[in-house]
Amino acid sequence: MAKQNIKKVSQEEVLVDIAEVTKETQHWVEEYKKPIMYGAIALVVVIGGWFAWKSYVESNQKKAIQAIWKAEQMFERDSFALALNNPGGGYEGFLDVAKKYGSTPAGNLAHYYAGICYLNLGKFDEAIQQLDDFSPNGEVSPTMKYGALADAYSEKNDFSKALKYYKEAATSGGVEDMKAFYLKRYAMLSEKQGDVSTALDAYKEIKEKYGMTNDARDIDKYIARAESKKK
């Protein structure tokens, strides 16, 4: 068996290698000392800033919840103008809450409330602006936002955008009753615009996918009407 040629490494050679590596490392650190220092400072600032921002948002969320409750009370009473600007008792309306606390969940929700208030007051452009500023999350709020936007555009006779948002409301999540409700609105508006084939497909989808919902109870009537129009 061939003998392996093993080179003996002296202690002096090891020390020289270590010294070279140490020298190179020191040189690298010296050369990039400022960027390293700035990077470390930046990291500390980012981490500290994140905790400060988290604390700020949590604090403002409490303030927003305290501020918004009176406007919500007026909203429940259908006092939409008061809910927007002057709910009484020194409390702020949805517009002020949204402006001051828009970065908080309660402030974000105030945009949606304000949009619905404007929608009920017949101020559709203002409703659209507020609804656009609302950032939905979860299963239900996207459906609520897109459905309200569709209603606002429909009131403005902008039916192409209304159809777009009714479709989004019907497919963006939420419970089956909400999906069926907005899918039916999408179908009815499509039918009204002369797109009977699209309407018929949507009516049939309600029957097949959402047969247990309220909007499916009389869906056969809509299907029959659309089918008669296609003949």
* CA end-to-end distance (rounded Å), the chain: 94
Residue 5 has pLDDT above 80, yes or no: no
Residue 151 predicted with pLDDT over 50: yes
Token readout for 15 is 């020390």
Average pLDDT over residues 132-152: 93
Residue 10 has pLDDT above 50, yes or no: no
Q: Which structure tokens are listed for 225? A: 């009407």
Neighbours of 186 (CB within 10 A): 26
Q: List pLDDT tens digits, range 169-217.
A: 999 877 899 999 999 999 999 999 999 999 999 999 999 999 999 999 9
pLDDT digits (tens, 9 = 90+) for 27-54: 444 544 444 444 444 444 444 443 444 5
> Can you count the helices (H) and strands (E) in the chain?
11, 0
Is residue 84's pLDDT more than 90? yes
**Of 82-86, 122-126, 139-143, 171-175, which gets the smallest average pLDDT?**
171-175
Q: Which residues contact 208 (CB under 8 A, 6 or more apart)?
A: none
User: What length is written for the chain?
Assistant: 231
191 with 175: CB under 8 angstroms?
no
Amino acid at position 153, single letter? Y
pLDDT over 50 at 2, yes or no: no
Q: What is the pTM of this model?
A: 0.74
pLDDT at 147 (0 to 100): 95
Contact 196, 226 (CB under 8 A): yes
- Stretch among 100-104, 165-169, 182-186 having the lowest mean pLDDT: 100-104
The pLDDT of residue 59 is 65
